[in-house]
């Protein structure tokens, strides 16, 4: 009886369509769980960085908290404790704490 089962399963092999469906399903899972959320987060960060204005209080990715006192297209000058001023790349802003008003 076991020899009859082995004979039936041996010659066919896997259906190529099922392999394509399997890989398509795996790609869909990766897309919806990893790629799409990361892309949304990146777009939200780019929008936040684009909307920064003088007077906004920010936190850099390094953890430095400061208030924006000067803006250029790709850099910010922030005022931290006392009269300390730092020049920071716009892409390195982690989040905005508050606006001017």
Q: Where are the domains of the chain?
A: 14-51, 53-101
Q: What is the pLDDT of residues 57-83, one digit of tens each?
A: 999 999 999 999 999 999 999 999 888
What whole-number percentage of the chain has pLDDT above 70? 84
Q: Do 92 and 62 meet the contact criterion of CB atoms below 8 Å apart? A: yes
pTM for the complete prediction? 0.68
**pLDDT reported for residue 100:** 57
CATH entry, 53-101, from 3.40.50.720, 3.40.50.2000, 2.30.30.30, 1.10.540.10: 2.30.30.30
- The Cα 16–Cα 18 span in angstroms is 5
49 closest CA partner among 99, 95, 86: 95
């Amino acid at each position: 009886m076991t020899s009859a089962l082995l004979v039936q399963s041996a010659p066919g092999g896997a259906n190529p369509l099922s392999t394509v469906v399997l890989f398509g399903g795996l790609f869909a899972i990766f897309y919806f769980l990893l790629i799409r959320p990361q892309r949304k987060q990146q777009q939200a960060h780019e929008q936040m960085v684009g909307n920064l204005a003088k007077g906004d209080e920010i936190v850099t990715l390094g953890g430095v908290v400061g208030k924006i006192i000067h803006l250029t297209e790709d850099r910010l000058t922030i005022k931290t404790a006392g009269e300390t001023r730092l020049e920071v790349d716009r892409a390195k802003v982690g989040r905005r704490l508050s606006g001017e008003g």
